[in-house]
Amino acid sequence: MPEIEDEKEASVGDLINQLVSLCSYLDKLYMQSHLIHLNIEGPLFFPLHEFYKEQYTSLVEEFDTLAEFVRSMDYLMPMCERGLNAACPKFNHVKSYDAREMSTTYLKNLEQCGMMAKEAVEIAREVEAPDVENALADTVKLCFKSSWMLKSTLRT
């Protein structure tokens, strides 16, 4: 009996769409972390202020790395914020200046971003893009390590 080859269900186009969506989410996380960094107040000001600075710095790098993969495969990124917004899945917005509430919203978004990156890893694996898979693993690590650190800080 002849072997039946497994057909790939994902395509490079699927990977590109996932990367653009993830980049749009990273962009929103960047701005959210930067604004929280500027507006945080309270007894945990110093550690949270520094944490959010590290976040927005890292998020810009993640965005750039993933967007460069999109370009390296000869696809275009959105040209402006409107295009990024159209590609962005549901994002939780901060509704309070309370440090705990801001951080809890950010935490939920970090975890959502990590899950999106995990989904993209699977697509990258399926289309045999180990370089993209590796970069996405770094995004997963950033999101879930940051989530753990923030949870631990908020438990005080």
Block mean pLDDT (10 aa), the chain, length 156? 65 97 98 98 95 98 98 96 93 96 97 98 97 98 97 88
Cα–Cα dist 58/109, whole Å: 15
Identity of the amino acid at 130: P
Residue 52's pLDDT is 98
pTM assigned to the model: 0.92
From the CA atom positions of the chain, what is the Rg in Å? 17
Residue 89's pLDDT is 86
Cα–Cα dist 134/136, whole Å: 5
Residue 5's pLDDT is 55
What CA–CA distances, in Å, run from 100 to 23, 28, 94, 156? 26, 19, 11, 11
Backbone angles phi, psi at 151, to 5 degrees: -60, -45
Tokens 């701005």, residue located:
31
At what angle are helices 130-154 and 12-39 packed, to 10 degrees? 30
Contact 60, 28 (CB under 8 A): no
Residue 7's pLDDT is 63
Residue 148's pLDDT is 97
